[in-house]
Structure formats: structure tokens, C-alpha cells
Amino acid sequence: MKRRDLFGLAAALTVTTSLAGPLAAQDALKIGAVGPKTGPLAGGAAVTFWPNVQLWAHDVNEAGGIDVGGTKRMVEIIEYDDQTNPGETIKAVQRLATQDEADFILAPYGTGLNIASAPIFERYGYPMVTHTAISDQIEDLSGKFPNMYFLLGGATGLAGGVVDVLSQMREAGEIGSNVAMVNVADAFGIELAEAARPQFEEAGFEIIYDSSYPLGTQDLSPVINGAKDANPDAFVAWSYPPDTFGLTEQAQIAGLAPKAFYTAVATAFPAYAGRFGAAAEGVLGAGGVFADGDAFKDYAARHEAVTGAKPDFWASAPAYASFQILQQAIEGAGTTDKAAVAEYIANNDFDTIIGPITWDDNNANAEYWTVGQWQGGVFKGVASTGREGAVPAQPKTGWE
Amino acid sequence: MSLTKRDWQSITLSAVLLAVAACLPLTGDAYMLSIGITIAMYAVLATSWALFSGPTHYISLATAAFFGLGTYTTAIGIENGLNYWVTLPIAAILGAVLAALVGLATLRLSGVYFVIFTLGLAELVRQVVTWGQNVSGQKGLYVLTDITEVHIYWQLLVLAGIVYLTGWAIGRSRLGFALRIIGDDEEVARHSGINTSRAKILLFMVSGATAAVVGSMLAPRYIYIEPALAFTPMLSFLVVIMALLGGTGRLWGPLVGVIPFTLLWEAISASFPNQTTLLLGLSFLVIVYLLPRGFVGLIESSKRKLREREAFA
């Protein structure tokens, strides 16, 4: 408590654009933010989650605050580190609800941490618009937690997007039907590989090399060499951030250069292009955005100006959009009553930086980006389940 | 074995304290309850850890392996239609079996070999689970039940009661006596005709089974179970640190470490969300330098000083 009193005092004394804003703290809406600052997911959260919390608070306060039934109210962010530990996430959300008496709480970061804290959000009636939860059990979850919403999409869609993109490239005569597929032996990688196998088969692709590697593998040369020996037309890796980088690097060294080269998580990170430069050109990856759209361009410019870092080309914009939905719902309901805001979210469509959002029967956003490609230094969306602005995928021309 | 008046006193006192603790949910404060669960969870884990490691001085870093095993037992059990209550004893048995296997393989070794092996064990079990998922194509598991935090809290308290009774009974038994001798000098123990490996393995099984049941009980709280969350090595380290902070010489020792440590950790997390790890490291240093024998050592040496002062007066 003391810390926040001091914070409010400092904010009142100094004219800054800090998170609390120049307004006295008692008028501000208290918004809780829980995410990993330490632990295995801290790296991803530092790219995708925390900068957007900062940017959103900045944008709201710069505009004079959130309009609650005619009164403009600034937002004050209360941040907690959950150490990538579900027990800590639960405790932190509990603390926000009962000790800090937060008006609203932003959804945490990552599938497991979101689901672990869902009962607490539910108990206190906080609406929960998740931005980084990918699950194949959305139906069960939204049935049990009616205030839980899903923005980022599902594994079947992500895998299906890749199959679609490769099918189109094959129709255009750019690649053949032989696919080398590898996956990291961890939750997300396993789920995607499992979802992709039947879809590839159905589309008439032959998986001529199918392998997996443990999470945290340092030496990925056997994986890449195995794929290279199979001489595939397309290489698909359901990978996590460290191995996305490792596989790309190893493919360059070994000279594995098919016309379609796909790595999953973190291909959409600005750091990927930063590391590989021109060689990243033509690499396909999970996610994507309408990179040429004004909404994203404007958002990316503000993101860089306020946080000093570029947004990623996948979950960053949905994370920001999930905060926008909360904001629009508070303004639409005209009150900070959680039940009224939750009801507003359930019954309305939203216009966000990733475009219009409509909920399906399971409280999920059915239209999301699935595949993107580095083209001209920008990771552009090439496939989605209904978003506009996709550009055609181009064949990759080596690593030069 | 007959119970003395003092035994009855301590049993009554413990029962009263447990009953008082069981009233926590009646305050209706959900925040206190979530801290209560953390305290109860670590109290059970640290006490059962100290049952084995206290007398034998074998530092085990395998808590996460047993905890994760229990978590997965419940998750897989419920997914296959088993009743939640059935999964608890299954987890206990699996935990004991794993502990027996590990014990047979390693407890003949001593010192640092054992520490390293137990640290690796959690990673080993985690990799096996991950491999199993990769082969079967199954990913994270969902434990969707109607069990609330209050239920979990009460279950943990009951388990704590069982652990204290077990520890108390072991302390009075031939097994407990054998373990104390092993802790003082294993060579002497062996020459006195004590089957040292058997004694150590039995205790390790008690400790492993308890940690597995704690994992089972926590599974409905986490809802989504994946290897990285169930087998986090941080858990093993926290258990050891809390037990050492309290002191392992007495049955109630770990508890007096768990409560202040959990509250301190909560205060750090709430007030300095950006420096948790740094402050955790600093508190470790303070504990090691200022409280080498834990709170138990502190309490007992101040008791002794008090007695001495009285004697001189």
C-alpha cells in the first residue's frame, strides 16, 4: 500500500507521462497486470506483454483517461511478477482482487498461467480477455468460465494455415509435395504436429521426414541434417523461441534451403530479422499481421516511440487489442461495475487495431492470423482464418 | 509403547492448532486462504522432506519429481474417468515406488552424489513425461473439477496431520532410532547391525509418497498441467530452504521456517515485483549467515541462555 501512495505522490509532483499519469491516484482506475518477469516465459512476456501494458496505459492517459459514464478516469497499472509459476499467478490475481481492490485485471501471459487463474477471475466476476492462450479445449473452458474470451486462435487453425499456404505454393508450381516436419517435444510443438499430420495427408502432401527434439536442445544439427538428407520441398518446424533461432542458423550452415521454410514461435519477433538480416527474407512463421494496414503501422510506430522496442508481428497486436476491448467495454457500459462490463463484452462486437472482433459460440475470436512471411524486412500475414490484408506467399530463394 | 503425560499434551496441542488453522476459511478472506494454501503446501512438503533429510543429513532435491508425478497421476486419472479421491492413494503408491527405486539405486552412495542425482531425477521424470506426450501426441492436461480452494486447503491440513503423526511415530520407533545413529555416523550404525539402506529407503518412501499426494491435491488448483509447470526445480529448492530456515532437528522445525518465509516472499512479491529474485537471493544469504541452524537453533540457544541466566541469579 505504501509503495503506491508514494507512487501517486511522485506522479502528482512530477509532470511525466509515467504509467500512473499526472492525475492523483484516488481518481484513477486501478488496473492489475500479472505476468512473468522471471522464469521460462519472461523473455516472451518482455516482447509481447509488458510493453503493451505500458503502451496501453500511456495511450489511455494521454487521451485523458477512460470515459466512465461521462467522467474521464486515468488508469493506474499495478504490476506483479508471477515468476512463470501458476501458484504465484493465482496468488497475484487474488491479491489484486482483494488487497488492491483492482477495478479490472488484464489477462495474464501464456496458456497455462491464464487457465490457472481463470477460476479467480471468475469468482470475482472480472472479465478475462486472453491474448496469449492457445487451447483445443476452448469449448470446455468457456463453458466453465463464461467470462473468459480467446483472441489468439487455436492449434488446428495455425496448422491448417501452413497447409493452405503450402497448397497454394504447390498449385503455383513453386514447390512439390514432399514435406519435412519436425517439432519441439513440448506442449505447443506436440499439439501442432499432431494437428498438422492429418491435414497434410488430406491435402496430398507426403511427410518424408518426421522427427522431434527435446525442449532446450542446443545442437540441432542432427535434426537439420536429417531433413536435408530427405531433400524436401518444404521444411516445417513447430518450434519454440530458442530452437526457432537454432534451426534457422543450422539450416544456413548445412545449406538446407527449400522453397518453403517455416519455423513457428518467435519467427514473428523483430529480433529474428535483427539476427538473420537479409537471410530472413522469405522465411514463413507462425502468426502474422496486416502489416501494410494503417492501424498496425500507426500502432507499431507508437509502440516503438513509447516503449523503445518494436512490437512482434503476432501476439503483440492482439495483446493490445485485448486491452482495447476492455477499455471499449468499460466506456460502452458506462460504469466500472464488473458484471455490466462483462455483459457488454459478451453482447458486442469491437473495433480494434487488429480489425473487428466478433465472438463465436465459445467466446473465441474465429478470425485470426495463422501464417506470416518476412518480405522486405517486414513480417507480413500471408494466411488467416478470415482477416483481410493477406499478401501472397513467395518462394524462398536460398539464404543469401 | 505407552504414552506419557507429555506426549498427550503435545498431541492435544497439535490437534488444537490444526483445528484453529482449519477455521481460516471461515474468515471468508480469500486472499488469506490463498496464502494459507501456500503455507500448508510447503509445510507438508518441508516437514516430510525433513523426516528423511533431518536425521540422515541427505539433502534431497527430488521434491519436484514426486510432486509432478502426483500432479500427473491425478490429471491422467481424472481424464480416464477415475474419481479424484482414488487418484490420491495411487499417487502415494507411485511416489513410494519411485522413491524405493531411486533409493535402491542411490542411497548406497552418500553425500554429493545423492544431491546431484535427486536434482537430476526431477528433470529425468519430466523428460520421460514429455517423451510420453510426444509419442502419444497428447499435450497439456486439463483438470476440470468442482474442487475449490477451501477443499484443497482442508485436504492439505489433514495430510499435515498425518505427516506429523507419522513423524512422531517414527521418532519413537526403532526405525527413528536407527536413523539418528545413521545421521551421527553411518559406519557405526552398520557395525551395530543396522540395515542402513533399508532404513533410509523406508524413510525416503514416506517422504516421496507425501510429496506425490501434495502434487495430486494441487492439480485441481492449477487446472492446466504441463511438464514445465509440474516439475519446476524451484519447488525443490524452496522446500529445502524453508526446512533449513526452520531447522530440521525438531518435527515442528520446518513449520516455523515455512510460515515466516511464505509471508516474507509474499511481501517481496507484492512490494517489489521487479526485484523478487534479487531479494530472494539476499534473504538466502541472511538465512545462511545469521541463522545457520534455523529458527529451531535460535529458539533453543536462547532457551539455554535463559536457563543459564536463571541458574546464575
Tell me: pLDDT of A15 over 60. Answer: no
- Separation of CA A124 from chain center: 25
DSSP code per residue over A123-159: HHT--EEESS---S-HHHHHHH-TTEEE-S--HHHHH
- Note the ipTM here: 0.76
Tell me: pLDDT of B172 over 80. Answer: yes
Could you tell me what percent of chain B has a pLDDT over 70? 97
CATH of region A2-154+293-357, choose from 3.30.420.40, 3.40.50.300, 3.40.50.2300, 3.40.190.10 = 3.40.50.2300
Cα B222 from Cα B194, distance rounded (Å): 43
Asked whether the beta carbons of A140 and B142 are under 8 A apart, the reply is: yes
Asked whether the beta carbons of A258 and A242 are under 8 A apart, the reply is: no
* Least confident residue range of A12-21, A95-104, A202-211, B304-313: A12-21
Identity of the residue in B130, B229, B273 whose CB atom sits nearest the CB atom of A86: B229
State residue B86's pLDDT score. Answer: 94
Q: Which residues of B touch A156 (CB under 8 A)?
A: none
Q: Residue B18 belongs to what H/E stretch?
A: helix B5-22
CB–CB contact B127 A83 (8 Å): no
The residues near B103 (Cβ < 8 Å, ≥ 6 apart) are: B197, B200, B201, B204, B205
Asked whether the beta carbons of A49 and A35 are under 8 A apart, the reply is: yes
Which residue on chain A is closest to B229 by alpha carbon?
A: A85
Cα A151 from Cα A130, distance rounded (Å): 6
Asked whether the beta carbons of B261 and B287 are under 8 A apart, the reply is: no
Instruction: Say what angle helices B174-184 and B196-222 make with each other, to 10 degrees.
Output: 100
> How much of chain B is helix, strand and coil, in % rounded to 5?
80, 0, 20
- pTM equals 0.81
Cα B257 from Cα B295, distance rounded (Å): 7
State residue A7's pLDDT score. Answer: 44
CA distances from B135 to A104, A194, A265, A356 (A): 42, 10, 22, 39
Question: What is the average pLDDT across A21-27?
Answer: 50
CB–CB contact B229 A97 (8 Å): no
Write out pLDDT tens, residues B7-40: 888 888 888 888 888 888 888 788 889 899 999 9
A370, burial (CB in 10 Å: exposed 0-12, middle 13-18, buried 19+)? buried
- Separation of CA A14 from chain center: 34
Using DSSP's 3-state secondary structure scheme, residue B118 falls into helix
CB–CB contact B273 A37 (8 Å): yes
Across all residues in chain B, what is the average pLDDT?
A: 87
Place of cell 507419522: B166
Cα A1 from Cα A10, distance rounded (Å): 14
- Separation of CA A284 from chain center: 17
Asked whether the beta carbons of A400 and A279 are under 8 A apart, the reply is: yes
State residue B139's pLDDT score. Answer: 66
CB atoms within 10 A of CB B63: 29
Strand pairing partners for A180? A209, A235
State residue A191's pLDDT score. Answer: 82
Across all residues in chain A, what is the average pLDDT?
A: 89
Identity of the residue in A37, A99, A191 whose CB atom sits nearest the CB atom of B274: A37
Residue ranges of chain A that CATH labels 3.40.50.2300: 2-154+293-357, 155-289+370-384
Q: Higher-confidence residue: A41 or A325?
A: A325
Could you tell me what percent of chain A has a pLDDT over 70? 94
pLDDT band with cut points at 50, 70 and 90 for residue B164: very high
Q: Higher-confidence residue: A370 or B141?
A: A370
- Separation of CA A147 from chain center: 20
Strand pairing partners for B254? none
Place of cell 503493451: A52
Write out pLDDT tens, residues B81-126: 899 999 999 999 999 999 999 888 886 776 788 888 888 888 888 8
Q: Which residues of B touch A84 (CB under 8 A)?
A: 228
Write out pLDDT tens, residues A101-121: 999 999 999 888 898 899 889
Write out pLDDT tens, residues A293-342: 999 999 999 999 999 999 999 999 999 999 999 999 999 999 999 999 99
CB–CB contact B227 A140 (8 Å): no
Which residue on chain B is closest to A191 by alpha carbon?
A: B139
C-alpha cell at A98: 482483494
State residue A165's pLDDT score. Answer: 95
Bridging pattern class, strands A71-73 and A66-68: antiparallel
pLDDT band with cut points at 50, 70 and 90 for residue A211: very high
pLDDT band with cut points at 50, 70 and 90 for residue B2: low
Taking CA A130 as the corner, what is the angle to CA A128 and CA A134, rounded to the nearest 5 degrees?
140
Strand pairing partners for A155? none
Cα B71 from Cα B88, distance rounded (Å): 10
pLDDT band with cut points at 50, 70 and 90 for residue B270: confident
CB–CB contact A185 B133 (8 Å): yes
CA distances from B311 to A208, A298, B169, B303, B308 (A): 86, 80, 34, 12, 5
State residue B53's pLDDT score. Answer: 87
State residue B65's pLDDT score. Answer: 94
pLDDT band with cut points at 50, 70 and 90 for residue B137: low
CB–CB contact B139 A188 (8 Å): yes
On whether the A155-289+370-384 domain is CATH 3.40.50.2300, my answer is yes
Tell me: pLDDT of A126 over 60. Answer: yes
C-alpha cell at B252: 515442528
State residue B313's pLDDT score. Answer: 58
Question: What is the average pLDDT across A138-154?
Answer: 89
A371 φ, ψ (degrees, to nearest 5): -135, 140
Write out pLDDT tens, residues B144-157: 888 888 999 999 99
Q: Where are the beta strands (DSSP E) in B25-132?
A: none
State residue B258's pLDDT score. Answer: 92
- Listed by number, the residues of chain A in 228-257 with a beta carbon closer than 8 Å to a beta carbon of chain B are none
pLDDT band with cut points at 50, 70 and 90 for residue B138: low
